[in-house]
Amino acid sequence: MNIPYRPIALGVIALFFSAVVLGRTQAGGNHFYAPVADPVVKDECGSCHHAFAPSMLPASSWQRMMGDLKNHFGDDASVDAATAARITGYLTANAADAGGRQYSGKLLSGVALNNAPLRITELPKWVREHRKVPDWEWRHKDVRTKANCMACHVDAERGYYDE
């Protein structure tokens, strides 16, 4: 039997390269964070602000945040116990140091997990990535707050946070 080594080898190489490229795209150069897939989480978290990806904070942060929804960054965001349990379960399972590890990359570098940061915008990597954004842009009427990701990252709803 005459095995066509050359085409097979070429095919394997092509596959390998697409895997590498696709892998990069998936990670988006560390700018892709899988968006919230659970409809309840998406609805409850996303009615007031962008439903932030669970992979943007460690599980300890989500736990701490869900433990004090009555005072959620100054607002009352409390939900009933069953809903809270479902949201906490989803967020911690997909957190930056759990199921969402593939997306979080270096987001947790310099972050003390026992310190459980609550603000994504205070993570060292977040600060570093946004250091060039001038003050007037944050105060722009279409931005107003650092929680308003979509104002600049038009594809944030789908998980892409490229420039």
Partner 1 sequence: MNRTLTVTVAAGAIFATILAAPVCAGSREDLLVQYAAAAKSAGFSAARGQILHTQNSSGGKADTPACISCHGKDPRGAGRTLTGKSIDAVAVSVAPTRYTDPAKVEKWFRRNCNEVLGRECTPQEKGDWLTYVISQ
Q: Which of 28, 89, 143, 160 binds partner 1 (CB under 8 A)?
A: 143
Is residue 152 at the binding interface for partner 1, with CB under 8 A as the rule? no
Is residue 39 at the binding interface for partner 1, with CB under 8 A as the rule? no
As measured in angstroms, the least distance from the Cβ of 22 to partner 1 is 32
Residue 32: strand, helix, or coil:
strand
Subset of residues 117 to 136 that bind partner 1, contact rule: CB under 8 A: none
The single-letter DSSP state of residue 145 is S
Q: Which is nearer to partner 1, 25 or 145 (CB)?
A: 145
Q: Which is nearer to partner 1, 2 or 47 (CB)?
A: 47
Using N-to-C axis directions, what is the helix angle for 81-93 and 59-66, rounded to 10°? 170
Q: Which is nearer to partner 1, 19 or 48 (CB)?
A: 48
Is residue 150 at the binding interface for partner 1, with CB under 8 A as the rule? yes
Integer CA distances (angstroms), 74 to 21, 126, 141, 161, in order: 43, 22, 21, 26
19-41 in b/e burial notation, b at 16+ Cβ within 10 A? eeeeeeeeebeebbbbbbebeeb
Subset of residues 43 to 62 that bind partner 1, contact rule: CB under 8 A: 46-50
Residue 156: strand, helix, or coil:
helix
In 10 A of CB 3, how many CB atoms?
7
Is residue 151 at the binding interface for partner 1, with CB under 8 A as the rule? yes
Q: Which residues bind partner 1 (CB under 8 A)?
A: 46-50, 74-80, 142-145, 147-148, 150-151
